[in-house]
Amino acid sequence: MMSNKLLEIKNLHAGVAGREDKGEILQGLDLAIAPGEIHVILGPNGSGKSTLMNVIMGHPKYQVVEGEMKFEGEDLQALKTFERCRKGIFLSFQNPEEIPGITVENMLRASKQAVSGAPVKIMKFRKELKAAMEELQIDPAYAKRYMNVGFSGGEKKRNEILQLLLLNPKLALLDETDSGLDVDAVQIVSSGVRKFHNENNACLIITHNTRILEQLSVDKVHVLLSGKIVEEGGPELIQKIDKEGFGFIRRELAEEAGEN
């Protein structure tokens, strides 16, 4: 039977490559995302959220020890990072890299070319870039600046969403794209995500704030704690955690452990 899932992760165990002494960071994680859905991962600092994103992208720093990851039914682990990008997976980094010597325009055009495997015509691309920059209220002069060099924290995050709009992937992994943004910028980024999202693509959003989610229709929330998904629910879980923190989940887990 054809799976209708875009991303399907089963029993994923992963850690830092070559550092078995560090132990597993992800300890048996299951996740399934269908086209059209928006999923959110909440979890305390150090619970493994960014690690999960990196493992989905195939970052060489991390090693899968056990489990299965499929994208449109295809085994992801057999694919290199650039092949995963070509399949339509995109990661907005928690800490975007500065790339001296390459302008935003050249970087984005080269990425688009690499991902699509076809030449991207310069005039047409410039038009698209200009429209996307307007949409995200980015000064057009930034197109000629070196990628993220000297950008403020918020400008870097906005630049990630610019990439998202131009590359138009099937699955957008957004790792705290809203952190460090002022109140207006959160709205701009959130509307950028809304503009990107449609019934054929999906978003997996990591955040510590609820504001970016207010304008998005979230389908499912997963709570990650110590490398495991320990609680799942609908959008109501966001409000509950926002009010009460992760304490009630920790207590539930402690009670369960006590019963066993």
Ligand X SMILES: Nc1ncnc2c1ncn2[C@@H]1O[C@H](COP(=O)(O)OP(=O)(O)OP(=O)(O)O)[C@@H](O)[C@H]1O
Pick one of ligand X, Mg ion, none as the site partner of residue 43 (Cβ within 5 to 8 A by kind).
ligand X
Tell me the closest approach of the beta carbon of residue 93 to ligand X, in angstroms.
11
Q: Which two tokens stand for residue 260?
A: 């066993």
| Per-residue burial over 213-249, b = 16 or more CB atoms within 10 Å of its CB, e = otherwise | beebebbbbbbbbbbbbbbeeebebbeebeeeebeeb
Identity at 255, one-letter amino acid code: E
Pick one of Mg ion, ligand X, none as the site partner of residue 220 (Cβ within 5 to 8 A by kind).
none
Q: Which two tokens stand for residue 114?
A: 């690499």
Rank residues 52 and 143 by Cβ distance to ligand X and give the closer one.
52
Contact 202, 177 (CB under 8 A): no
User: How many Cβ atoms sit within 10 Å of the Cβ of residue 152?
Assistant: 10
Q: Does 92 bind Mg ion (CB under 5 A)?
A: no
Q: Does 50 bind Mg ion (CB under 5 A)?
A: yes
d(CA 190, CA 7) in angstroms, rounded, equals: 22
Nearest to residue 191, comparing CAs of 54, 143, 53, 181? 181
Rank residues 15 and 235 by Cβ distance to ligand X and give the closer one.
15
Q: Which two tokens stand for residue 259?
A: 């019963």
Tell me the closest approach of the beta carbon of residue 48 to ligand X, in angstroms.
4
x/- string (CB under 6 A) for ligand X, residues 85-124? ---------x------------------------------
Q: Does 177 bind ligand X (CB under 6 A)?
A: no
Please identify which residue in 1, 21, 45, 243 interacts with ligand X, judged by CB under 6 A: 45
DSSP 8-state assignment for residue 117: S
Q: Which two tokens stand for residue 193?
A: 């995500």
The residue range among 48-56, 144-152, 177-185, 225-233 that interacts with Mg ion, by the rule CB under 5 A, is 48-56
Q: Does 48 bind ligand X (CB under 6 A)?
A: yes
Please identify which residue in 11, 20, 46, 137 interacts with ligand X, judged by CB under 6 A: 46
Contact footprint for Mg ion (CB under 5 A): 49-50, 94
Contact footprint for ligand X (CB under 6 A): 16, 22, 25, 43, 45-51, 61, 94
